[in-house]
Structure 1
Amino acid sequence: MSYRIVHNDRFIEEVLSHYKTQFGCDYEKYRNHAYRVYNYSLCQLGLATHEELAFAAAFHDLGIWSANTFDYLDASLRCMLNYLERHDYEKLRAISTIIYWHHKRTPYVGVFEEEVEAFRKADLMDVTLGYKNCGIPATVMQEIKRAFPYRSFHFKLVKLSWKNFIRHPGNPLPMFKE
């Protein structure tokens, strides 16, 4: 399988630049995560680019930083809707659906199913450090990881998860959907 890695997407760069100060020292960690997820999504779909997936990659976890919360899906969606208010409804609907369902525990069935499933699996691949490869060859995953190193992104997630567990032991991972 041949796959050309996307190193610079104008939509991802535009969004992340807009929110750069909110990320602080986590900017590169999140940027790399967004690009890994985007590239894994594109690879699964056999695409070179996809505007809605790029925006979803940029916004999907943004609420962690914009609203300083681990229950971040609504905050991420608010940022996306405010930022993209002038885009057509169908694009907003696609991006919103991808973001909202990207932590669904079971396969998503519905509108934009192909994109949601590719993105959901891509995020899972990244969070599991590639343990769940979802059919992407190991050589491609390694190439993407080399291009966009983790930079302690997972350590950040563990810290946030632990803090949220202490504060909300009954709902330690509020972003997961059935």
Structure 2
Amino acid sequence: MLHTAAEHTVDTILAEHRTPLGADLQMYRNHVLRVLTLSDALWNRLRTAQRTTRQRPSTDGDFLIAATFHDLGIWTEGTFDYLQPSIQLATDFIRGGTECNDRELVASMIAQHHKVRTAAEPANPIELLRRADAIDVSLGFVRHGIPPRTYRDCARTYPSLGFHRKLLKLTVRRSLGHPASPLPMLRW
């Protein structure tokens, strides 16, 4: 699946947020690693079709930062309206001295990862993250060309540990408290 360096980067970043993640640390970590694995699978399909020369997502520092922080605001701010808090966490992390080639790209990747429509051309990191997250959140029902076995293997390597159940509970809770805005993270 992923290179140990990618897992190490994710673990290093998430260690700084161990307290707000609490018992959900491993669950969220696995979601991030599934998204990275699926991003690599999408990238590999494009590379094979000779449509991209971009770096593999799991080896790209900016992509790793965006993927690791993309949903983290759920836990750090205790909200389902988490895009801005997640962007702020990533921005603060980058300002802390982490090497980042494109801060705006990292922010855009997080801001648009729940965009309903296509966010960019398929090889663009924004679109790769959006599609990979959609595949994982849908438990592989949305595939964006990825074979079902790829998702099953990914989920076997990095099990959900209740992540999808947590999303369902958060959706129901948000819907009851904010019926006019049940999914504030969606963008058109």
So what's the TM-score if we normalise by structure 2? 0.86
- Structure 2 portions without partners, runs of 5+: 45-55
Q: Does residue 6 of the first structure (1) align with residue 2 of the second (2)?
A: yes
Aligned to 2:47: none
Matched letter for residue 146 of structure 1: R
Deviation at residue 156 of structure 1 after TM alignment: 0.4
Deviation at residue 91 of structure 1 after TM alignment: 2.1
How many aligned positions are there?
173
Please report the RMSD computed on the Cα atoms of aligned residues, expressed in angstroms: 1.8
Aligned to 1:100: 111
**Match among 77, 80, 83 for residue 87 of structure 2:** 77
Contact residue 42 and residue 50 of structure 1 kept, 8 A: no
- Structure 1 portions without partners, runs of 5+: none
Deviation at residue 89 of structure 1 after TM alignment: 6.7
Q: Does residue 133 of the first structure (1) align with residue 143 of the second (2)?
A: yes
Tell me, in whole angstroms, the C-alpha distance in 1 between the residues paired with 2:149 and 2:123. 27
Tell me, in whole angstroms, the C-alpha distance in 2 between the residues paired with 1:113 and 1:138. 21
Cα deviation per residue 1:51-106 (whole Å; 9 max; x = unaligned)?
22211111000000000000000000111111111346742111111101000000
Contact residue 109 and residue 129 of structure 2 kept, 8 A: yes
Cα deviation per residue 1:106-160 (whole Å; 9 max; x = unaligned)?
00138x9711111101000001000011112222222211110011111101111
| Percent of matched pairs sharing the same residue | 33
Aligned to 2:31: 33
Aligned to 1:150: 160
Contact residue 42 and residue 49 of structure 1 kept, 8 A: no
So what's the TM-score if we normalise by structure 1? 0.90
Aligned to 1:117: 127
